[in-house]
Amino acid sequence: MARVLIIGAGGVGGVVAHKCAQVPEVFGHITLASRTLARCEAIRDQIARPIEVAQVDADQPGPVAGLIRKVKADLVIHVALPYQDLAIMDACLDAGVHYLDTANYEPPHEARFSYEHQWPYHERFAKAGLTGILGSGFDPGVTNVFCAYAQKHYFDEIHTVDILDANAGDHGHPFATNFNPEINIREVTAKGRYWEDGAWRETDPLSVKATFDFPEIGPKDMYLLYHEELESLVRHIRGLRRIRFWMTFSQNYLTHLKVLENVGMTRIDPVRFEGRDIVPLQFLKALLPDPASLGPRTRGKTNIGCIFRGTKDGQERSVYIYNVCDHEACYREVRSQAISYTTGVPAMIGGLLIADGTYREPGVWNLEQLDPDPFMDRLNRHGLPWVVTEDIPALPD
Ligand code: NDP
């Protein structure tokens, strides 16, 4: 049985703690640590099984390595913020434990996320005999596993991939983000980017729009975005000619975002205000609803999946793999809305597959580099069942 240290007690951290607690045969001991102890205690009090809590500043490797040793963890599931990725990876190397996260490193003062900071850890993890799994949420995460599964079972060559992320949830607030507002707004206001014929093509933020008829949700407007799994998938999918990522937004969300952007509230550079420096986006985060508080208010469903086109045995083929998740059902199970749930469940599954020895290849990996079958099996067993269909609604060319 493994001892797991979960770092980060936000919306996702709460789900990971609940879901690890549901698998006592693998996670024999659980510690939940975060910057604010009270948030860990609030989650601990929701869970019937005893779990340990701790305060830690994960911006520094030293205290994290100290905590890993103190609680004798075998594995860290990092669901704090992307800014802490490198410090926690360093701490895992120092203390000699496995590592998993859900979002790639992003320098705090530059809205540009990339695996270029974390892939260079591969040699050090390999040499230490440790496994690091990058991006084990839903997207990235399950979308990478869907790609590996399609490649393994349905295609000789995948020519195009479209990743479609729809949230038809309604939380009743005029404006709120479903996960950390700072990370979410930095992602959405960045330029769009997709990959075609061996080159990246850039688009203005939210300038490419299409409508798609999502199963169990209905037609929604979606926008082309750059998303982090594209960076690894272009390296690992055979025969790929184009890959794009789409996310749905309501007109109301976009109008609010535009106004906030126009008045400078989404800026990430410090602004002098009444004798001190403040970062407008961090101040905005303090004003917006905490994503962890949206659970009891959110109704509706998410649908996230991938559409593949390619060839099998010389024949053209199209396949759509997706999951539908219901916000209210998630809240009933783990007191969280579906965005935190769809991120936290795959984080637990990735951790479980390290802990039980299924994923133990030394080095640092993106999920499409690992065997998708055990992950797909666990998705069905732990609350995120998936559908494979060749009956696919129309998608723009
Ligand atoms: P939240 O903001 O709700 O939670 C983040 C938690 O991390 C908070 O408890 C916060 O502490 C803690 N934290 C922040 N800085 C530190 C630090 N220096 N040391 C220790 N703890 C710290 O975010 P979410 O739960 O919504 O998201 C968690 C992660 O999941 C993010 O990295 C996000 O990008 C990722 N994500 C991935 C997705 C995917 O599909 N792959 C989808 C959605 C999210 P405090 O309470 O004190 O603020």
| pLDDT for the residue 3 | 98
Does the structure show a pLDDT above 90 at 396? no
Ligand 1 atom nearest to CA at 39: 46
- Select from 129, 121, 122, 118 the least CA-distant residue to 74: 129
Note whether 20 and 133 are same-domain residues.
yes
Average pLDDT of the residues in 299-320:
97
- Ligand 1 site residues (CB inside 6 A) read 8-13, 34-36, 39, 56-59, 79-82, 84, 102-103, 135, 137-141, 179-180, 183, 291-292, 339-340, 343
**Structure confidence by residue, pLDDT tens digits, 14-39:** 999 999 999 999 999 999 999 999 99
Q: How many CB atoms lie within 10 A of CB 345?
A: 29
Q: Which two tokens stand for residue 3?
A: 């001892």
Note whether 235 and 328 are same-domain residues.
yes
Classify residue 96: in a domain, yes or no. Answer: yes
**Ligand 1 pocket mutation, candidates 18, 19, 64, 343, criterion most atoms within 8 A of CB:** 343
Q: What is the mean pLDDT of the chain?
A: 95
**Ligand 1 pocket mutation, candidates 180, 288, 290, 302, criterion most atoms within 8 A of CB:** 180
Name the DSSP class of 302.
E
Note whether 296 and 360 are same-domain residues.
no
Does the structure show a pLDDT above 90 at 106? no
| pLDDT for the residue 390 | 96
Does the structure show a pLDDT above 80 at 278? yes
| pLDDT for the residue 196 | 98
| pLDDT for the residue 110 | 77
Note whether 163 and 104 are same-domain residues.
no
Could you tell me the CATH number of the domain that includes residue 14? 3.40.50.720
Does the structure show a pLDDT above 90 at 202? yes
Note whether 240 and 125 are same-domain residues.
no
Does the structure show a pLDDT above 90 at 184? no
Classify residue 186: in a domain, yes or no. Answer: yes
Q: How confident is the model at residue 134 (pLDDT cuts 50, 70, 90)?
A: very high
Note whether 186 and 125 are same-domain residues.
no
Does the structure show a pLDDT above 80 at 251? yes
User: What spacing in Å lies between the alpha carbon of 287 and ligand 1's midpoint?
Assistant: 17
More confident residue, 182 or 270: 270
Indicate the residue among 282, 300, 334 that finishes a domain: 334
User: What spacing in Å lies between the alpha carbon of 230 and ligand 1's midpoint?
Assistant: 22
**172 φψ region: left (φ > 0), alpha (ψ -120 to 50), beta (else):** left
User: What spacing in Å lies between the alpha carbon of 261 and ligand 1's midpoint?
Assistant: 23
CA 101 from chain center: how many Å? 8
Does the structure show a pLDDT above 80 at 111? no
**Structure confidence by residue, pLDDT tens digits, 55-104:** 999 999 999 999 999 999 999 999 999 999 999 999 999 999 999 999 99
Q: How confident is the model at residue 107 (pLDDT cuts 50, 70, 90)?
A: confident
Classify residue 197: in a domain, yes or no. Answer: yes
Q: How confident is the model at residue 183 (pLDDT cuts 50, 70, 90)?
A: confident
Average pLDDT of the residues in 297-309:
97
Q: How many domains does the chain have?
A: 2
Note whether 209 and 101 are same-domain residues.
no
Classify residue 370: in a domain, yes or no. Answer: yes
**Structure confidence by residue, pLDDT tens digits, 339-364:** 999 999 999 999 999 999 999 999 99
Classify residue 387: in a domain, yes or no. Answer: no
Note whether 128 and 228 are same-domain residues.
no
Average pLDDT of the residues in 207-216:
96
More confident residue, 157 or 112: 157
Note whether 48 and 120 are same-domain residues.
yes
Q: What are the distances in angstroms from CA 338 to CA 152, 162, 290?
A: 28, 22, 15
Does the structure show a pLDDT above 80 at 236? yes
| pLDDT for the residue 186 | 83
Classify residue 395: in a domain, yes or no. Answer: no
Does the structure show a pLDDT above 90 at 189? no
| pLDDT for the residue 291 | 82
Q: How many CB atoms lie within 10 A of CB 238?
A: 11
Could you tell me the CATH number of the domain that includes residue 223? 3.30.360.10
Residue-wise burial string across 25-58, b where 16 or more C-beta atoms lie within 10 A, e elsewhere: ebbebbbbbbbeeebbeebbeebeeebebbebeb
Note whether 217 and 156 are same-domain residues.
yes
User: What spacing in Å lies between the alpha carbon of 12 and ligand 1's midpoint?
Assistant: 7
Residues 6+ apart with CB under 8 A from 174: 252, 256
Instruction: Give dist(CA 217, CA 168) in Å, integer.
Output: 7
| pLDDT for the residue 397 | 80
| pLDDT for the residue 185 | 87
| pLDDT for the residue 51 | 97
**Ligand 1 pocket mutation, candidates 6, 7, 12, 85, criterion most atoms within 8 A of CB:** 12
Note whether 96 and 154 are same-domain residues.
no
The angle formed by the CA atoms of residues 316, 319 and 325, to the nearest 5 degrees, is 170
Range of the domain at 321: 142-334
Classify residue 317: in a domain, yes or no. Answer: yes
Instruction: Give dist(CA 347, CA 358) in Å, integer.
Output: 15
User: What spacing in Å lies between the alpha carbon of 314 and ligand 1's midpoint?
Assistant: 45
Classify residue 392: in a domain, yes or no. Answer: no
